[in-house]
Amino acid sequence: MSEPIAGAPNGEPLSSDRPPAPSPEEAIRPDGRWLAQVEAASGVKAGACYGCKKCSNGCPLSFAMDLHPYQVVRYLQLGQMDKLEGSSTVWICASCQTCLTRCPNQVDLPRLMDWLKEELVRRGQAAPEEKVRLFHQLFLKGVAKRGRVFEGELMAGYMLKTGGAFGPEAIKNARLGLTMLKKGRMKLLPERNKDRRWLKALFREPKGGSHA
């Protein structure tokens, strides 16, 4: 054990146990071509990030992320898209906008997270937070159908697909549903737009891809 070094930020001894240096295979090989493409497609100046980590210190959900928000930006700068494919971070982000608000270079991280989600779904990538993706997709499906959200159908559909309609979870969910119904906070019939032609045009299945 080494002696504490005077002036160490938290007063704790600095450990001499450093993680081993990465092997040549593990070491990052920067690929600068990606950044320009991502910036053009997302409209976010990811290259402006100088790594102050203010985004990540203020992020209310970083405790549940496998990569801190600044790491997502850094991997994009280095062209390491594969590092982001299996990461939970973009799906855990709740778009609370704290990071963008405090970023000294106004890097729009929430927009970047959204762009990445869309890109990963387009690539047919399985999301590490499958349930978050599913909930968003079912929500959007309802909007595409009626122009408005029908919360009852959304919840029922979600529970059927995730198993929440069966087993011990089902009892809890049913009890909450009944309470909401009793309190007059659940509608049994959906509202919909009178004009729905625009919905058809907006949510038309694009060639080669598909919406939920």
Shortest distance, position 130 Cβ to another protein, whole Å: 9
Among positions 160, 174, 178, 202, the unique one binding another protein when judged by CB under 8 A: 202
Shortest distance, position 186 Cβ to another protein, whole Å: 6
Structure tokens given for 90:
């973009």
What residue type is 38 in one-letter code?
V
Distance CA 148, CA 138 (A): 13
Phi-psi domain of 75 (left: phi exceeds 0; alpha: psi -120 through 50; beta: other): alpha
Judged by CB under 8 A, does residue 115 bind another protein? Answer: yes
Distance CA 58, CA 115 (A): 21
Among positions 35, 49, 117, 157, the unique one binding another protein when judged by CB under 8 A: 117
Reference 142, options 89, 97, 174, 187; nearest CA is 187
Q: Which is nearer to another protein, 78 or 140 (CB)?
A: 140
Judged by CB under 8 A, does residue 195 bind another protein? Answer: yes
Shortest distance, position 147 Cβ to another protein, whole Å: 4
Distance CA 182, CA 189 (A): 15
Q: Among the candidate windows 5-13, 24-32, 46-54, 56-64, which touches another protein by CB under 8 A?
A: 56-64
How many residues of this chain interact with another protein, rule: CB under 8 A?
Answer: 58
Shortest distance, position 70 Cβ to another protein, whole Å: 17
Backbone angles phi, psi at 89, to 5 degrees: -55, -50
Distance CA 20, CA 111 (A): 35
Task: Give 166's DSSP letter.
Answer: S
Binding site for another protein (CB under 8 A): 60-61, 63-64, 92, 94-98, 100-101, 106, 114-115, 117-118, 121, 129, 131-137, 139-140, 143-144, 147-149, 151-152, 155, 158, 162, 176, 179-180, 183-187, 191, 193-195, 197-199, 201-203, 211-212
